[in-house]
C-alpha cells in the first residue's frame, strides 16, 4: 500500500482506492486551517492521480470534532474582516471535497461535530458507525451553521429535519442519522471502513468518465428544477454517447461479450 504522508492527513493507496486518513484521532481531528490546507492539497493530488478511482475519508476512532475554536480566537480578535476571511479559508476544505470530481465516501466513527459533520456530508456517500455521534453543534456555542451545513443537511434530510437538528443542537447516533436520511449506511464501528471500501470497490470498475459525469449531473440537478435537470442530463449524455465507453458497452451487449472500457 502506497502512502503520501503529511502532518495531519495521509493519502493511502489501496489498489484503485485512495484513503484520506486523518491522523489526530486522539485529539478528535480538529478542523483547523492547517488541516484544511492539507485536505485541499491531498484531494487535488488524488484528483490528478489516474490510478485512483474513488476516495474514502476516515478519521479512525473519531472523524472530526469540528472547528478549532481555540486556534480561531486570534483571528476573531482581529475583527470582522479578519474573521470573515478566516471562515472563507475554513470553507476551502468543504468546497474542495464537494467539488472533488471522483466518488468520495465518508467513513464516520466517533464524533462528527460542526464543521466535521459538514465535511462528512460533503461526500457522495456516508457510512456511519451505529454509535457514531453526529451534531450540528453551532447553536450550542452561539453560532449558526457554516462549512456548508445549512445546504448539505437540507439536501440529505429535508428542510424540517435540518431545522430541527440545527436549532436544537441535538446530538444523534449513527442509527438515528440513518433513520433521518442524514447518512446512507450504518454498520457497527469495526466494519465502517471495510464497508466504505466495499462500496468504493463496487464503483471502481465502472468507466471513470461516465462515473465522473454521472456525479456532476447528480450534483448539478440537485441545485435546480426538473426542466433544468433534463437539459443538464441531455448535454452530459450526448457527450457520453459519442465517447468510447458508452458505444463500446452497447456494441459488447449486441455481441454478447464483456466490454473493453478505456475511460474515454
pLDDT at 223: 85
Please give the Cα distance from 30 to 69 (Å, whole number). 9
Domains of the chain, with CATH numbers? Answer: 9-204 (3.90.226.10), 208-255 (1.10.12)
**So what's the pLDDT on residue 19?**
98
Burial class (CB in 10 A: 0-12, 13-18, 19+), 34: middle
- Quote the strand ranges of 131-184, DSSP E: 133-135, 171-173
List the end-to-end C-alpha distance of the chain, in Å, as a whole number: 27
Of 108, 102, 153, 104, nearest in space to 129 by CA: 108
For the whole model, what pTM was predicted? 0.89
Q: What per-residue confidence (pLDDT) applies to 164?
A: 97
Q: Which residues of the chain have pLDDT under 70?
A: 1-6, 264
Give residue 92's pLDDT: 92
Amino acid at each position: 500500500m502506497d502512502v503520501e504522508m503529511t502532518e495531519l492527513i495521509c493519502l493511502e493507496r489501496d489498489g484503485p482506492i485512495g484513503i484520506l486518513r486523518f491522523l489526530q484521532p486522539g485529539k478528535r481531528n480538529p478542523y483547523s486551517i492547517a488541516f484544511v490546507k492539507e485536505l485541499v492539497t491531498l484531494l487535488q493530488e488524488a484528483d490528478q492521480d489516474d490510478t485512483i478511482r474513488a476516495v474514502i475519508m476516515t478519521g479512525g476512532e473519531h472523524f472530526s470534532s469540528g472547528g478549532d475554536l481555540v486556534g480561531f480566537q486570534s483571528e476573531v480578535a482581529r475583527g470582522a474582516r479578519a474573521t470573515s476571511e478566516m471562515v472563507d479559508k475554513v470553507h476551502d476544505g468543504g468546497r474542495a471535497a464537494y467539488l472533488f470530481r471522483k466518488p468520495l465516501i465518508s467513513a464516520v466513527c466517533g464524533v462528527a461535530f460542526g464543521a466535521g459533520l459538514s465535511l462528512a456530508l460533503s461526500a457522495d456517500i456516508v457510512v456511519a458507525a451505529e454509535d457514531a455521534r453526529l451534531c450540528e453543534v453551532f447553536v450550542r456555542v452561539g453560532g449558526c451553521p457554516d462549512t456548508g451545513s445549512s445546504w448539505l443537511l437540507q439536501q440529505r434530510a429535508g428542510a424540517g429535519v435540518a431545522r430541527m437538528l440545527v436549532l436544537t443542537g441535538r446530538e444523534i447516533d449513527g442509527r438515528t442519522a440513518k433513520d433521518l436520511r442524514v447518512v446512507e449506511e450504518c454498520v457497527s464501528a469495526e466494519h465502517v471502513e471495510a464497508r466504505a471500501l466495499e462500496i468504493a470497490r463496487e464503483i471502481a470498475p465502472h468507466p471513470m468518465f461516465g462515473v465522473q459525469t454521472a456525479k456532476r449531473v447528480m450534483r448539478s440537478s440537485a441545485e435546480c428544477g426538473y426542466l433544468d435537470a433534463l437539459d443538464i442530463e441531455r448535454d452530459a449524455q450526448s457527450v457520453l454517447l459519442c465517447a468510447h465507453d458508452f458505444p463500446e458497452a452497447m456494441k459488447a451487449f449486441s455481441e454478447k461479450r464483456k466490454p473493453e472500457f478505456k475511460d474515454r
